């Protein structure tokens, strides 16, 4: 009698290799050249669509999933684009820098623009408003 290969169940720790792409096929993240990414299947450690996708997979299996922005890092929120006096920021702060806010609702802000004495900060996740595509290969069920 042939033994059936193990399948991922909710709560299993898994390791995957993945390529994360935008709809235009540009890669925003990958495990290529790195150790596999580990997480608990069905948990909120990763995007829910990816966390749920691995349930039922077997080691060596590959899947691709498209994740709309609303189910990934959310829609882009223009309310999180703010202008502040540049003097309130650390010396040397420039476009592209990331600043952490340790206030009541911690957030990372990206410096988008510096004009005169005003700096525009963006509190959205860099992938907010973007639909994502993940190519996943299950490499281990721990």
Domain identity same for 131 and 118:
no
Q: What is the pLDDT of residue 130?
A: 96
Host domain of residue 104: 78-122
The CATH number of the domain where 111 resides is what?
2.40.10.330
Q: Which long-range contacts (CB under 8 A, 24 or more apart) does 18-27 make?
A: 18/50, 18/134, 18/135, 18/136, 18/137, 19/134, 19/135, 20/132, 20/133, 20/134, 21/132, 21/133, 21/134, 21/135, 22/130, 22/131, 22/132, 22/133, 23/130, 23/131, 23/133
| Structure tokens given for 70 | 């609303």
| Length of the chain measured in residues | 142
- Predicted TM-score (pTM) above 0.85: no
Mean pLDDT by 10 residues, the chain (142 residues): 77 97 95 96 92 95 96 95 94 92 87 94 95 97 90
Is 54 a member of any domain?
yes
Is 3 a member of any domain?
no
């Amino acid at each position: 009698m042939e033994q059936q290969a193990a399948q991922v169940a909710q709560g299993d720790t898994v390791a995957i290799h993945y390529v994360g792409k935008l709809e235009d096929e540009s890669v925003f993240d990958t495990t290529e050249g790195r150790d596999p990414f580990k997480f608990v299947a069905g948990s909120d450690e990763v995007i829910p669509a990816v966390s749920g996708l691995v349930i039922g997979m077997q080691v060596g299996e590959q899947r691709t999933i498209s994740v709309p922005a609303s189910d990934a890092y959310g829609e882009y929120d223009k309310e999180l684009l703010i202008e502040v006096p540049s003097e309130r920021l650390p010396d040397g702060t420039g476009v592209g820098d990331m600043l952490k806010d340790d206030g009541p609702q911690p957030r990372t802000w990206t410096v988008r623009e510096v004009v005169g004495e005003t700096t525009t900060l963006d509190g959205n996740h860099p992938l907010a408003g973007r639909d994502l595509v993940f190519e996943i290969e299950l490499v281990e069920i721990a």
